[in-house]
Amino acid sequence: MTDAQRLAKALNTLTKNPQFSYTKARAAARQEPAVDWAATKTLNEDFNPDVDGCESFAMNDKSVCEWQAGQFRYVAR
């Protein structure tokens, strides 16, 4: 869970930027070695940026850094 919390904190800092986008979130997540990219791809199979906003990220410790569209922020689950 601490991996997801760390990533959520970092990404939530970025969401305050007016030019924030899913591509910037993904680029920031790529810097985090604890992201499980295979699981993230599966988690976001039907991802559509026009509808979903941002992707959620699966972590190696099986936690998830999940995008909350209505709140415009990430939470650790």
Neighbour order of strands in the sheet with 73-76: 57-58, 64-68, 73-76
Kindly report, residue by residue over 14-51, the tens digit of the pLDDT: 999 999 999 999 999 999 999 999 999 999 999 998 88
Return mean pLDDT, the chain: 95
- Judging by beta carbons within 10 Å of its beta carbon (0-12, 13-18, 19+), is residue 8 exposed, middle or buried? buried
DSSP state of 25: H
pTM of the model: 0.92
- Judging by beta carbons within 10 Å of its beta carbon (0-12, 13-18, 19+), is residue 6 exposed, middle or buried? middle
Domain map of the chain by residue range? 2-76
Q: In terms of residues, how long is the chain? A: 77
What pLDDT shows up at residue 27? Answer: 96
